[in-house]
């Protein structure tokens, strides 16, 4: 999104290194993410794109041996600072995972969990509204409105993933991280999610890791290409796909390796 012709930067990563024990997984990643745009991270398996994504909401903290160096500024605030509260951070930065992972609870409880723990809703009525709008935004409301109190695990794969998206947006995060959200879904469900992503970018900044170059081309405005832990190239999707600067990028998107 441009304001007075200037790109608004939401996330600014500066010289990010990630280590798993002694093994370095990311080298010197510097990447700017534009606000209210979809940024796709592409690259062959094991290139570090998911690792980078997980740096953005500090999910790598969960892994004992993982250490992150460098600055990641979100709204000009370094999330790798000691003073950064992960709980607050993750409230602002939602995440959707590769495999749909709804809680084994009812649909309603799935969506209301975030607002409950962050104390967003003041009343039952307000909560009902949040659940409804979240499900509507996730394009799931019409399919499930009559069975909100049935278990979320009873839905189909595509529905489950949309439920996870509804859960993620229920706390109105500024950024949504998506880690290959369509890899476990069939083409129809994938199309639905892609449509949804396009809709969501109006209110959220979206970063999506994907294996499908076609998907990256369809949904994203910006693309970053990772290879062997390095960010080889990033820029507007148009440019990356039509006229990349780097030979490796060219080779990858034309299917010569990866």
Structure tokens at 230: 């390095």
Angle at 21 between CA 20 and CA 25, to 5 degrees: 30
* Min separation Cβ 101 and another protein, Å: 4
- Contact between 58 and 79 (Cβ < 8 Å): yes
Note whether 103 binds another protein by CB under 8 A. yes
* Min separation Cβ 93 and another protein, Å: 9
Options 1, 15, 21, 117; binder of another protein; rule CB under 8 A: 117
Of 51 and 249, nearer to another protein (C-beta) is 51
What is the Cα–Cα distance from 223 to 239, expressed in whole angstroms?
Answer: 9
Helix (H, G, I), strand (E, B) or coil at 194: helix
Options 28, 36, 133, 153; binder of another protein; rule CB under 8 A: 153
What is the Cα–Cα distance from 184 to 86, expressed in whole angstroms?
Answer: 28
What is the Cα–Cα distance from 177 to 140, expressed in whole angstroms?
Answer: 19
Options 7, 69, 99, 136; binder of another protein; rule CB under 8 A: 99
Residues 168-197 interacting with another protein (rule: CB under 8 A): 168, 171
* Exposure of 175 in the CB half-sphere (CA atoms within 13 A): 23
Residues 27-56 interacting with another protein (rule: CB under 8 A): none
Q: Which positions touch another protein (CB under 8 A)?
A: 57, 59, 62, 64, 86-91, 94-95, 97, 99-104, 113-114, 117-118, 153, 157, 160, 164, 167-168, 171
């Amino acid at each position: 999104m441009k304001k007075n012709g200037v790109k608004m930067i939401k996330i600014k990563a500066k010289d990010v290194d990630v280590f798993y024990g002694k093994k370095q997984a990311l080298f010197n990643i510097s990447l700017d993410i534009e606000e209210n745009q979809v940024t796709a991270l592409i690259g062959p398996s094991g290139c570090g794109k998911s690792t980078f994504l997980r740096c953005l909401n500090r999910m790598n903290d969960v892994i004992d041996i993982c250490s992150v160096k460098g600055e990641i500024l979100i709204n000009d605030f370094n999330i790798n600072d000691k003073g950064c509260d992960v709980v607050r951070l993750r409230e602002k930065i939602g995440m959707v995972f590769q495999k749909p992972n709804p809680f084994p609870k009812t649909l309603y409880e799935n969506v209301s969990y975030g607002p409950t723990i962050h104390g967003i809703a003041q009343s039952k009525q307000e909560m009902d509204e949040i659940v409804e709008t979240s499900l509507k935004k996730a394009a799931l409301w019409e399919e499930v409105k009559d069975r909100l109190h049935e278990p979320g695990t009873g839905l189909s794969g595509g529905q489950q993933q949309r439920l996870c998206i509804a859960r993620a947006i229920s706390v109105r995060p500024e950024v949504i991280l998506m880690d290959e959200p369509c890899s476990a879904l069939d083409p129809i469900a994938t199309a639905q999610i892609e449509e949804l992503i396009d809709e969501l970018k109006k209110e959220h900044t979206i970063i999506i890791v994907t294996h499908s170059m076609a998907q990256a081309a369809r949904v994203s405005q910006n693309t970053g290409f990772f290879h062997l832990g390095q960010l080889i190239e990033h820029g507007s999707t148009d440019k990356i796909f039509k006229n990349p600067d780097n030979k490796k990028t060219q080779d990858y998107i034309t299917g010569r390796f990866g």
